[in-house]
Chains A and B, each alone.
Chain A
């Protein structure tokens, strides 16, 4: 198996006819993803990428039985789109969009939790279960189906990790980008829990970065709940305090959120950490061999 998405996923895309969405949906379909249509208000009845376009998520769900939505809607309108997906009963919502106001995310997260829906992102590269389902913006060709689960706050760093894991002779069960915002829909803990329960996943790569305490909270969780080997890298050991390093959530403030604290917390939870991102592949190899 894998986590979150597989061949049983029935996906739609919100913001389907936009240029980014079109490019990435085209790739997803070519990859074999069961992407059955999309939503662009006002374009109902049109056909895009050989698939139907609907006016609303509700209509799309009624006709296609979709259970997953991939969102490319611009930040200004994204809150409404997530709301619409939640109201239509979508259980997995993947938000690629960057720039959603933090207070909006706080409210929408409360609603999603109450409805039992999972949000991945925002400001993330999405999800891929190699060989069966790709819902995101990652380059497909570096992936290979296998036994390593990958969870990361960064897009391109995820690709680096994937590439190294593939070159080390392993593939990936599922790769999850949880995104670089201060309030992510899903946390490291949410995803680690799923990897622990997943039979296909034998080891986990976790890529964190400076800012917040998500890695420290994950470390506490790992200590008593995760038995599978984990290799972790934290980006930003050389970052100065008080500066937002690209991602809205990547900032050391009030002396909190440093890479050092995160490395220490993870190490004390028995996680194998690497200080250089180029060491991820060989470390996962050695931790599976030992």
Chain B
């Protein structure tokens, strides 16, 4: 689960990690009242969306008066911000962060990730902040300094010092950095984060370190024990169909193609998409119905696929293990009867109760094409989607 910048910065403040003074507004009527809490005459207004590249898209602006802030807020609230990281529709803006403008002497990068190779959390720092960390990793990997953290022993001062040296900090800044390092790791562990990125971490004109931006991703598996974080979820930033699917414990990801897919198991769902693609078609979605499907969730999955108007054919691929094929067949029949389907549906059922399922589909009088060979089923779907 992703957090907004203002939510990340609120957590930073809670953990005594220096960041800007800011207020959050959701209406231009609010602006004057709230902005007066900031002691400055130069502000930065930032549209809050779950995507990077906001600055270039006009979603971040340095402003000199309350009127300018009001105009900015009036313009953006209710609009969608389209950046290079969003789709062509963009992400809706419903809150705007207004902060005191900081004079930047130097931009640095600081982040913590879960490193799958070393099976630990890793703190990364680079003196080249303000740009994409991937670009630094690509062009000058020697400018990224990393230390793994032993979760049982906790963070070590020497590791913080190693990163501080990489960042070429002054003596005074080193002590500030050690504190940020320790507190950020504590935040990461306490809140079950999967990623935190401060880009940029800056040195301001009083030579102090400060977090100017904050990106946080929380481990979804841990949300059951992070109720305060769960309250920060902004579902308006999530794709409508993906959100609907998550309510039914279905894993759905919207894609660009026109062949809808319904599969059990994430690996097989990806494998099915791959076959569609190598057969000359394009999948409209990834959809894993999971191991605990019932008639209702299959029916719901079907409706979600059909709500995508690009879809011209549907390929259903089920390898029954825990999932019983006849249950899936009943769900398909229920959905087709309820919503009506006028596009071809190609079904490949294998494993647990597949014969029973076959009979159900054949006697249903619905226009469903059965094909037990997956390659042939995919080719058929591609052919019928044209």
A interface list, Cβ under 8 A from B: 20, 24, 75-76, 99-103, 106-107, 109-110, 125, 137-139, 142, 152-160, 163, 180, 182-183, 207, 209-210, 212-214, 217, 233, 235-240, 243-250, 254-255, 259, 275-278
**Looking at the complex, which one of A103, A213, A247 makes contact with B266 (CB distance below 8 Å)?**
A247
Query: Do B222 and A101 touch (CB < 8 A)?
Result: yes
Q: How far is the CA of A277 from the CA of B275 in the complex (A)?
A: 8
Query: Do B116 and A157 touch (CB < 8 A)?
Result: no
Top 7 nearest A-B pairs (CB, nearest first) are A154-B267, A246-B266, A156-B265, A157-B267, A101-B222, A156-B268, A235-B270
Among B89-97, B155-163, B296-304, B319-327, the one that faces the other chain is B319-327
CB distance from A132 to the nearest CB of B (A): 20
Query: Do A246 and B351 touch (CB < 8 A)?
Result: no
Decide if B291 is an interface residue (CB 8 Å cutoff): yes
**Looking at the complex, which one of A99, A102, A142 makes contact with B114 (CB distance below 8 Å)?**
A102
Decide if B187 is an interface residue (CB 8 Å cutoff): no
CB distance from A213 to the nearest CB of B (A): 6
Output the residue of B119, B138, B264, B291 with the most chain A CB within 10 A. Answer: B119
- 8 A Cβ contacts from B189-247 to A: 189, 192, 194, 219-222, 224-225
Among B14-22, B171-179, B276-284, B337-345, the one that faces the other chain is B276-284
Q: Which residues of A contact B276 (CB under 8 A)?
A: 238
Query: Do B268 and A101 touch (CB < 8 A)?
Result: no
Query: Do B116 and A138 touch (CB < 8 A)?
Result: no
Q: Which residues of A contact B265 (CB under 8 A)?
A: 154-157, 246
Nearest neighbor of B254 in chain A, beta-carbon distance: A243
Decide if B43 is an interface residue (CB 8 Å cutoff): no
CB distance from A282 to the nearest CB of B (A): 11
Q: Which residues of A contact B283 (CB under 8 A)?
A: 238
- Tally of contact residues, B, Cβ under 8 A: 53
Query: Do A183 and B274 touch (CB < 8 A)?
Result: no
Q: Which residues of B contact A75 (CB under 8 A)?
A: 221, 224
Q: How far is the CA of A181 from the CA of B298 in the complex (A)?
A: 25
A-B pairs with beta carbons under 8 Å apart, 24 shown: A100-B221, A101-B192, A102-B114, A103-B121, A103-B219, A103-B222, A106-B119, A110-B151, A152-B267, A156-B265, A159-B319, A159-B321, A183-B116, A183-B119, A209-B267, A233-B271, A235-B268, A236-B274, A239-B273, A246-B265, A246-B266, A246-B270, A275-B274, A276-B274
Decide if B62 is an interface residue (CB 8 Å cutoff): no
B interface, by DSSP: helix, strand, loop or mixed?
A: mixed
CB distance from A279 to the nearest CB of B (A): 9
Query: Do B288 and A246 touch (CB < 8 A)?
Result: yes
Q: How far is the CA of A157 from the CA of B275 in the complex (A)?
A: 13
Nearest neighbor of A217 in chain B, beta-carbon distance: B117
Decide if B38 is an interface residue (CB 8 Å cutoff): no
Q: How far is the CA of A157 from the CA of B253 in the complex (A)?
A: 19
A254-B133, A276-B275 are contacts. A182–B114 as well, Cβ < 8 Å? yes
**Looking at the complex, which one of A106, A182, A275 makes contact with B151 (CB distance below 8 Å)?**
A106
Q: Which residues of B contact A277 (CB under 8 A)?
A: 268, 271, 274-275, 374
A106-B120, A245-B266, A246-B269 are contacts. A156–B274 as well, Cβ < 8 Å? no
A156-B321, A239-B273, A277-B274 are contacts. A101–B221 as well, Cβ < 8 Å? yes
Decide if B182 is an interface residue (CB 8 Å cutoff): no
A160-B271, A245-B266 are contacts. A102–B194 as well, Cβ < 8 Å? yes
**Contact string against A for B residues 90-116, beta-carbon threshold 8 Å, 1 for contact and 0 otherwise:** 000000000000000000000000101
**Looking at the complex, which one of B114, B253, B267, B278 makes contact with A180 (CB distance below 8 Å)?**
B267
- 8 A Cβ contacts from B127-173 to A: 133-134, 137-138, 151-152
A102-B194, A102-B221, A156-B321 are contacts. A238–B116 as well, Cβ < 8 Å? no
Q: How far is the CA of A103 from the CA of B120 in the complex (A)?
A: 8
Q: Which residues of A contact B134 (CB under 8 A)?
A: 254-255
Nearest neighbor of A278 in chain B, beta-carbon distance: B375
**Looking at the complex, which one of B194, B219, B278 makes contact with A275 (CB distance below 8 Å)?**
B278
